[in-house]
Structures are given as structure tokens and as C-alpha cells.
Amino acid sequence: MPCTTLLVGRKASADGSPIVARNEDSGNGTFDPKKVVVVQPADQPRTYTSVIDKRTIELPGDPLRYTAIPNALPDEGIWACAGINAANVAMSATETITSNPRVLGADPLVEHDPATGTPGGFGEEDFVTLVLPYIRSAREGVERLGALLAEHGTYEMNGIAFSDEQDIWWLETVGGHHWIARRVPEDHYVTMPNQLGIDSFDLDDAEGTGRDHLASADLREFLATHHLDLTQRDAGDAAPSVFNPREAFGSHSDSDHVYNTPRAWYMQRTLNPGSEDWDAGLPGASPDSDDLPWSRRPERLLTVEDVKDVLSSHYQGTVFDPYSSRGTAAERRAFRPVGINRHNALAILQIRPELPESHRALQWVAYASNPFNTLIPMFTNVEEAPAYLGTTDATVSTDSFYWTSRMIAALADAHFHEVIPAIERYQQRTLALGHAAVHAATEAASSADGAAVPGLLAEANTAVAEQIRTATDALLGEVLLIASNHMSNRFSRSDG
């Protein structure tokens, strides 16, 4: 699934919360309508069979409640996208990433064979459902998913994020059964644009205490047997403990330089504007750089709005912006933007460590194309999601935040410069409404009886969703009027 991920360590965020954020995008020419749900323990399957690769697994009998953003049309499976469980552990799955023929030859992907009925491994369709209800820390998420990969395999290369109130862990699959994971430095952010990203890995740590690195048990042997480590060393030297996974397991193809690395370049350019000469074409700072760092320390603390802006970006301020007149027609279509037409959903997951567990977790949700949408905050310690976030089906309707956001984007794109002032006013107003609602509900929950907190949070979720629904309906009317006034069959003379 073509997606973009941004991870922010707790000492790099303005409020001290680790932030996990990802755009889930659909394939070219398609949309996958999404909805938010709260999965109760009684609704979690005990026997699970994947739709795509036909693999069946028995699940533990003690799942936690969790939120998810599944496909509204389950014809290809659940695709739960992202969520937070009752233990305040967050998970985002998955970022589709790249590999190379050496890895895929050494550990082939596990694909369903319809001719023989042989099942394949698990993938993006499955991971949140199989892991999130059973973990109580980010590290446990890595360990559970790693065990599933080793036993059952996967049919695709993926990156998966886990977070608790202290740490973010990022796991990347390496072939059909192998994997590596790194803890995100607390004062750094990570940019991930559909490409294997980890650029340094310590095998000694992974095989020892695992403080910052975890991996498949046989990773060192896997590297050596298949000559995957490309680190230069003198004859007779022992294999180094630290190596570059991006060189060993990843790719540096021409398509990466059009589709992937430019997104990382622009995200880092935005969050570290003074750290490099971003327009000079220098190694490590150009759109086609193979050595852009996996993580950076930002120049200032980052906010939810920063995350939303970066994950909505389309190369503003450069010749590559498709909405700008600065570049040539070829330059404006040279690179795949972060903010693209085929976003399904954006999930921004926050675990706020300074607050009581009952209202520590927040899941911000947006649907459709990010340059034109807004976020709705949702406390996750609730029994059900607000109707405006959860009422999505195959029928286009303004009762659904998904479909209304999709209509606004489709109308606005062709009239970008005419509508963007209205879009920006809407985004500022609704994000302010969201923050005000979070502040008020947090204060109320902090002084409420514990048993009353879930109901109080559910009411707050519904109230802010309805406020933003009113603003979104008004924006749809405004954008519709602007688009209508620019139709090709318009004529200036009125009747009368």
C-alpha cells in the first residue's frame, strides 16, 4: 500500500508525547472508503483467516479493546490501518517498503498459491488485528509481530510502528520471515516514504539486551550466509556488529528517486529548514539522495499541526509543486508528493504520558486528500466511535466524514488557487475546535470519577465531531459554489 509515515519521539514533540502518524493511501485509480470502529473483546475473532492469502490462525482468548480504521467494504479483508488499545499502546500498519533480489532470493515472500491451495503469509490486511489486541507495550508489539513473521511469513515488505507512553519502535520486514526493529531516538523524528529506511543497526545490541535494536534470532547468520552485508572491510576482519540495513536489504532504484526519496527530502527540508542547503543538490540533501538519514533531531519541538502539514505537503516553495507556476510542466510532475489524491485516511496517534491512563490516548483522524481535509480528535477509552467518523459505506453521503472530505477534495483540486483560502480558514478553525475540545475533556476527565470517564470522553468525541461536521458541510457548500462559478458552460449575463 503506498503510504507515508512520520514518527516523532517524545522529546521531539511539543507536549512530550510520542507521535505515530501515517497516511494510508490506495493504489492508483482506486479508493478504499474507511471508517473508525472500536473493537470490543467479544467482537475480536478467536479463529482468524486472511482474505487475501487464505492463512488461518488461532488467536489468544484474552484480547484487549482497541480502535481501528478498517475498510468500510471488507471484500479484501479488514485492513485495520491504525489504532490504540485499552493498555494505551498504539500501532500503525503498514508502510509498504522496498527490497532487492538478493534478499527476496534468500528468504522468498510467502505467497498464496491458488493452484495448490497453499496459503500465503500475513500482511497489511491482517497485522493490526493479529497484534494490537494482545500487547501491553511497544516492545511487546515488536516481539509478537516478529514471532508471527517467523512462523507464518509475509507476502510483502512492510514497515510497522508501535508506541507506548515512552517509546516508539519501528519494525521492517526483510524477506518472507526475517525482520529488524529499532527504537526511535527520543529527541528525533523519522521519515518513511515506501522505502526500507533504517540506515544503521547494531547486531550486538539486538542479540544482547535489545535496548535499541531487535531482530530475527538468526539475522547475523542470514547476513553472512547470503552475503547481504555490503560493509567495506579489510581481508580477515571480522564482520562488524554495526551495519547499514538500507544497503543490505533495501533498494536504490530509479523509481525510488521519483516515488520515494523526494518525499523524505521534502519532509526533512520542512522540519529542518536550516540544517542543510536543500536546493544545492548535495549528497544527503537532494531529492534523489540515497543517504538521507532515517532519523533527525528537529530544529524545534513538533506539534500535531506540524505532523498534519508535513503529511499534507506537495513540495510547496519548490519548482516541484503541482499547484505552483514556478517550475516547468515537467518539474511540477517530476516527483510523487506526500499529499496525494488517493489518501484513504490519516491517523495521528498520541499517548500523553503526563495524564492518567483513563484519558491518556488520542487518535486524530482525517480522510481523503490531506491538502484539503482536517483532523478530528478522538479519545480512545470509549465503547464506540462517533457516528460521523464511523458511518461510511458504499453510498456517497454527507452523513460520512469520509465521503464529504472526498467530495471537497475532488471539487477543490481543479480550482486550487480559488478555494485554498477557504480551505485554510476551515483547517485553522476546525483544528482549533479540536484542541479546545481535547483541553476541555482532559480537564473534565481529570476531576471525574474513574467509572464515569469513558462516557464523558464518548460525549466529548461526539460533540467535537458534530462541530466539525457543521464546518465541513459549510465548506462543501462554499467549494461547490466556487467550482460551479468556474464551469466551462458559464455565461456572464443573467436572466431578467
Question: What cell numbers appear for 316 in the block?
Answer: 510547496
- Is 81 annotated as catalytic? no
Catalytic residue among 3, 86, 93, 181: 3
Cis-peptide, bond into residue 209, ω within 30° of zero: no
Please write down the HEC assignment for all residues of the chain: CCEEEEEECHHHECCCCCEEEEEEECCCCCCCCECCEEECHHHCCCEEECCCCCCEEECCCCCCCEEECCECCHHHCCCCCEEEECCCCEEEEEEECCCCHHHHHHCCCCCCECCCCECCCECCCCHHHHHHHHCCCHHHHHHHHHHHHHHHCECCCEEEEEECCCCEEEEEEECCCEEEEEECCCCCEEEECCCCCCCCEEHHHHHCCCCCEEECCCHHHHHHHCCCCCCCCCCCCCCCCEECHHHHHCCCCCCHHHHCHHHHHHHHHHHCCCCCCCCCCCCCCCCCCCCCCCEECCCCCECHHHHHHHCCCCCCCCCCCCCCCCCCHHHHCCCCCCCCCCEEEEEEEEECCCCCHHHCEEEEEEECCHHHCCCEEEECCCCCCCHHHHCCCCCCCCCCHHHHHHHHHHHHHCCHHHHHHHHHHHHHHHHHHHHHHHHHHHHHHHCCCHHHHHHHHHHHHHHHHHHHHHHHHHHHHHHHHHHHCCCCCCCCCCCC
Distance CA 361, CA 228 (A): 40
Would you name the residues annotated as active-site residues? 3
